[in-house]
Every structure is written in C-alpha cells, then in structure tokens.
Structure 1
C-alpha cells in the first residue's frame, strides 16, 4: 500500500498499524523461563532396634563387705572416771582378758586398801573371839567378817571396772576416738571385737524398693579376689528381726546379709566381694531397649517405623531390667523401633 499523497495524520496511523502488525519484532526476544530443578528429599537416618523375644532378668549387683557374725560391743557400766590409757588398736588381734582401755583409778585403789585392812581386822577379831569360847562374841565376829568380805568384793569390782577388758578372742574392728583425760560415758560402745572365723557378706543400698524383692534363701553369685563363689541370702529387709534399737532397725531396712558356701582365706574382715542376686526372671517375653521407650504424663509409648512412615504406639511395660524392658502389650516380634 502506498502512503504517498495521503494526509500526514493518515500516514502516521498507517505506520503505527504496520508496526503493530510485526508483533514487537523490533525488540530483542526474551529467553524462555527455566523450570526449577527437581530435588530429591534427603532420607533421615534413624537408629533402629527390633522387638525381640528373650529373657528379662532383674538382678541386684553391687559390692558387699565381709563382716563378722560374732561381735562383742565393749562398754563401761557401773563406773565413771577419766581415761588414763587407750590400749586397743583397730585391726589388731586380742585375747580374752586383754586390757583395752584403762581409767584413772582415783580413790578406788585407796578404798580397796581400806577394805582389805577391814577384812584382815575382822579375821583377827574372829580369831580372838574363838579363844574366849564365847558363842555370842564368835557369832558377832563371824558376821563382821562376812560384812568385811562383801565390802572388799565391792571395792575389788569397782577397781576392776576401771579397766575395760576383751570379752573374747578376735580382731579389734572399732575403737572410739578418745584420748587420755576424756571423761567416759556409761553404756556407750568404745571398742568392738569381731570373730574373724565366723563371717558373712553385707550389702547395703538406698534403693530399698529393690531390696524388698530379695527373699531369704535365694542363691547369690559371688566374686572375691578374682574367684567365683556361691552363697545365699540369710536376711533381707523383707524379713528383718524385731528390734527396739532404731539405729539397728535402720540398718536392717537397707541391708542384705549373705552367707558364703566355701569362703576363701583371702576373705578377711573388711574386705569386699562383688555380688549378683537375681530377684526376678521371665523367659520368652518381648524385649525392647530402654531407649526405645518414651514416657509422658503416665503414658508409655514407642515410635514404630513402618516403611517410610513413623507412628506412635502405646505399650504396656512389664519387668524393667538393666538390659531392656519387657513389653506385655502393644508390640509384636520383629517390629522396628526408633531409639531416642
């Protein structure tokens, strides 16, 4: 189409239409937008454990101490005074009658001498009465001699009471921390002597709920000085003897006593041994690791992995042991669990 000879306005309109018809061919062509790349999600790695069938064994393991079953507590009774000398030494052997602690005799020695004098005087007076052949005088002198003898006996006991002596052969296993010049207290234990030939193992724990499951007569595996031994429980918190002694009752409530079947010479008073006491055992039960079990507000549950999905499953637990937890309801053998 020729635009020559057309009015100016018409020519401008025709030029505009021609440009529009070319469809922006005068502008640079834009690149086609790229699609975002496909990113495969990273699969999370979990620590997995399987539900297995096995045995659940609950046991008490610990270190027990060798203690004597024949022990004598030594106290001062019926006397007072200050300590003159302490002869007892811990972990040393003593014989019955050996002095342990000596008190200052004070006036006791003088009083004893006076009573010995009075006794000798009474004997002399009786001899003189016999020469008179006076029955009444002799009767009085005999009574005086008997009285002098009783008083002499009391004075001897008072002086002897100033010395604490060993009541049995054995080993000194305790000595109260006292020194010369200290005033003694009556009915207080100052020395303990133990028979080293008669002993047992004692195991104490603050976990009294576990100890209450220990029954008398159950076997005990013992390892002493690298040697395997056997024994049995002879007393536990479940069968403590009655006592009015609060300190002893508290000890009984948290202590298990064990006899040893074949003790070895290396088991001396104060030495230790490892013990293992099985309190409960269940066979052919479902077991899961402790780390697989979650607890929240009284709810017990696990996370079960099924393919790529995870679901929480409520479970009912049974026996809890150091090796795992028994599951009595909610799971089956072979399921995969996510550990915490």
Structure 2
C-alpha cells in the first residue's frame, strides 16, 4: 500500500473542494471496496477524503410520496428500514443477497454504487487491464472469462458490475442526486453507470469533483409482485453469475406494468425497455416471460468460458417473473431457489 494523505471533510462543499483540488484523491466512507483495492495496489490514491461524518444518513419521504436515501446510509440500515421493507421490498431483497452481514453494516449506499468490478485481471497488477491502465489491453478476452459480460461489452473490456443493490434500483427507476463544483444535478440510475466502450476505466458518468448526495426512489415500489433472484457459485458471499430483478403490476392475470433488470452480465445493470413493453397488456404466462427474456438478452455474446450464462440468464428471467407474478419472491434467508 502506497503512502497517502488523509483529510476529513467537514461538509459536502468541503468534500467537493478537496476532491477538486487533488485529481488523485478518493472519497472513503465504509471503505469495503476501496481498502481492498489499495491493499492490492490497484488503487493508489494520493489522498483519502473521509466523508463518513457528513450528514447524509437520513431516509425520508419526498413530497410526491417517494423516498430519499442519503448516500451514507449503511446497506443494512436501508434493507431493514420499515419504509423500504414495506414499500420497496425488491430493494431490500437485493441488498440482503449481497456480501455478508458484516460488510452490509459498513458499506454505504453511495459506495455500493461506486464499487468497482471484481474481475480477477483487474485485481492482478501483473496482467494487462484497460480499466487499470488504459491502452494496456484486456486479459480477460482471451483468458479465463467465465464470470464476464455477455451484454454491452467492448473490445476494450468485458468486466461486469458487481452490485446487487444497483440492479434493484435500476428496475425501480431510481434517481441519483449529485453535488459538484457546478452545483447539483440529478442522474437517472440507468444513465449513472457506463458501458465500457473505449474508456473502460470510467465506471460512471460522475464529473470531476462530483459526489453522490442521495438516491431517490419513485412512489411506486411494486410491493406485492416482485422477486430478486441471484444465481452464484455458492449460496453466500459470492458475486452473481446472473441476477434478475423483476417487478410487475397485475390486473387479474394481465400485466399492466413491468420492470426487469439484470446483474452479473454487463458493465452496468442491464435494463431493456423493449422487453418490458412486450409484457404490458399480456397475460402473466411462461410463454410471454420467455419472449421478454429473448428481448432482454438480444445481442448477447459469449466468450470461450461463459456461453452458459446466456441460457442461465434466460431461465433465471423466466423463473424470476414467475415468482413475481405469483407473489412468491425468492427468499434471501433460505437461499434455496423456490
């Protein structure tokens, strides 16, 4: 681990000033990802800016009936908050599917959105990686790529986004409130993370000096017909091979609204509005779910070791939609697939 300077931000404006003044600085809150990266010499910040004491830990209702979640709310607090459990159980389920209880106690909402890929080559500084060193190459393309992207990848990077929470937030239509040198702005979570293109070292669309202040959820939380299914190599403490967030609004057996998002398959949580539109007005049947899965996976491309993920994703989408339609969401306590 390299030497670095340490500063504690006194307020949001101070954090922005410190971040803008030092291009090599990094923000730290829970540190559940950044400290690991520093230990492996993947991240070498010149300064750590501690924002853990900023007043960004509130969860409060918005004027239009939604929910505003401060960027420093711990994942555990969010998952077990009464308003989240009652109105946004899809989000609670996704959070509880991730990491361990100890990590969820430390990890913040903003930090979860900012966590970096768990690609083994990204963590291995002895191998080329365009995310670490732009232009050096992507070792995963011709390497061991079992866990890598099948959607939205590029010739520069086939890494995946590791977040469970983000998949549910994308499905729910969340917004990210950002503060920076030019003031405040709001980014739809669907636009917050980037596809790799030829700049895979840029994970998000945050500008220089910008920080996450809060995440906002809309009023409609799909509290009845939802499910979050995470397929992984072991039942706990593992990142998703494929995960699915599904939420439906039903009128009898007819689907009036549908939301679908995938994790573990792309550089960002994957949502396709065409797949959702194909479900509206249709009966909640496996045939219609299969059609939506085909649309959601349109353009999926396999590498040498991850071809199985395409069919795995397809089956997972159908299974999750069946769970959502029947109001029998996947249990995050017992792990066994219903």
- Band of TM-score, shorter chain: under 0.3
Of Structure 1 and Structure 2, the greater strand share is in 1
- Higher Rg: 1
Name the TM-score, length of structure 1 as normaliser. Answer: 0.19
Of Structure 1 and Structure 2, the greater helix share is in 2
Higher relative contact order (CA 8 A, sep 6+): 1
